[in-house]
Structure 1
Amino acid sequence: MKLFRRLPAEVREAIDPGDRVLTYAEGPDGYVIAADRALYLGGERLPWFCVDRGAWDEEGLTVVTTGGRSYRALLPEPGRIPEAVRERVTASIVVNHYVPLDARGGVRLVARKADADRLVWEFVFDAGLDPDDAGLRALAEQALEETRRSFGV
């Protein structure tokens, strides 16, 4: 019995140097590859700190990025991809803190590990709040500074 399966050439060639394959699955549109630093899906490399969430159904995987873009991959046999996506997205989040801003709602402040020494912060405003509103933006920036101080990041 082999202890390690040999990676298919397509999987080895699809990943960037320095990324290490954790698991992969083949679907009708190609491979979905979960690596230590990114998810490879539909010919795209999505660093884990850019993946907001993944959802599964009987046909496959839908991934939504922090920028709101959605990706879909059909995976009749997903193998360990669901667990890897869940674990990697969760591991990328350092801080997830909700702050009320005014009577209309608040903002979720999310810090994600971009690499060993860099965090990327994201503002997720409640539905109905305009993220381009200068007053709300100022309140969110102030909340971010307070959150960074209290969490030490």
Structure 2
Amino acid sequence: MSGFWGRLFGRDPVPAAVADRLGSEEAVVAVATVAGGGTLVVTSWGVWPPAGERIGWHEIAKATWDRTALVVTPTTAEEIAPGTELLSDAVPQRFRLPEPGKVPQAVRDRVDQSIRSRNRRELPGGGAWVLQRRIPGRDGLIVQVRPDTGTDPVAVRRLAEGIADRLPGGDAG
């Protein structure tokens, strides 16, 4: 979108580096300029940081907005069995957005929409969230287990393996 059309529709242009890598079904939802340089692009499938790869909605542990910056906490996933993942939080990414536009609400809505169900399980040392999530661009759901910091890792793994064993075709171990 050219500068004129971007201003007319209230959206910054999508960087060519992102536009060239969008999936065929992936649509741009919101765009904002990041202080210090670069553009944050929100699509139907995830968030494209100014530098780096898309973070899919199912790969975001949490996203917060403090009126000046969007903080996205991505996850790393370990496959326990097909359709079941054990998550751990990666380093949060902070994007200061002087003119955020629709970006904060778009991110919140899409992270929330990716979660089909969530249940809390108390475990030694803390607990874990068991999530059923939709992966953008794919059919079906994935089950993710995201433990609290300090939760007994053996108990978390046992929980994830037990869930995987109960799923159709499940065999976690």
TM over 0.5, shorter chain? yes
Q: Could you list the structure 1 runs, at least 4 aligned residues long, displaced by more than 6 angstroms after superposition.
A: none
Question: Secondary structure of the residue that 1:117 maps to in structure 2?
Answer: coil
1:105-124 matches, cutoff 5 A: 105-115=126-136, 116-124=138-146
Q: 1:59 Cα shift?
A: 2.8
Across the aligned residues of Structure 1 and Structure 2, the Cα RMSD in angstroms comes to 2.7
How far apart, in 2, do the equivalents of 1:63 and 1:136 lie?
A: 24
How far apart, in 2, do the equivalents of 1:23 and 1:43 lie?
A: 17
Between 15-24 and 87-96, the greater mean CA deviation after superposition: 15-24
User: Does the CA contact (< 8 Å) of 1:101 and 1:139 recur in 2?
Assistant: no
Between 11-20 and 81-90, the greater mean CA deviation after superposition: 11-20
Match in the other structure for 2:31: 24
User: Does the CA contact (< 8 Å) of 2:47 and 2:57 recur in 1?
Assistant: yes
Percentage identity across paired residues of the two chains = 29
Amino acid aligned to 1:37: W
Q: 1:118 Cα shift?
A: 3.4
Kindly tell me the number of residue pairs found equivalent between the two proteins.
143
Match in the other structure for 2:45: 37
**Normalised by the size of structure 1, how large is the TM-score?**
0.76
User: Does the CA contact (< 8 Å) of 2:12 and 2:33 recur in 1?
Assistant: no
Unaligned runs of 5+ in 1: none
After superposition, the C-alpha distances for 1:73-96 in whole angstroms (9 at most, x for unaligned) are 121110000110000100111121
How far apart, in 2, do the equivalents of 1:139 and 1:47 lie?
A: 25
User: Does the CA contact (< 8 Å) of 2:12 and 2:32 recur in 1?
Assistant: no
Unaligned runs of 5+ in 2: 77-88, 169-173
1:1-153 matches, cutoff 5 A: 4=9, 8=13, 10-15=14-19, 16-18=22-24, 19-27=26-34, 28-44=36-52, 45-67=54-76, 68-69=89-90, 70-101=92-123, 104-115=125-136, 116-131=138-153, 133=154, 136-143=156-163
Between 83-92 and 23-32, the greater mean CA deviation after superposition: 23-32
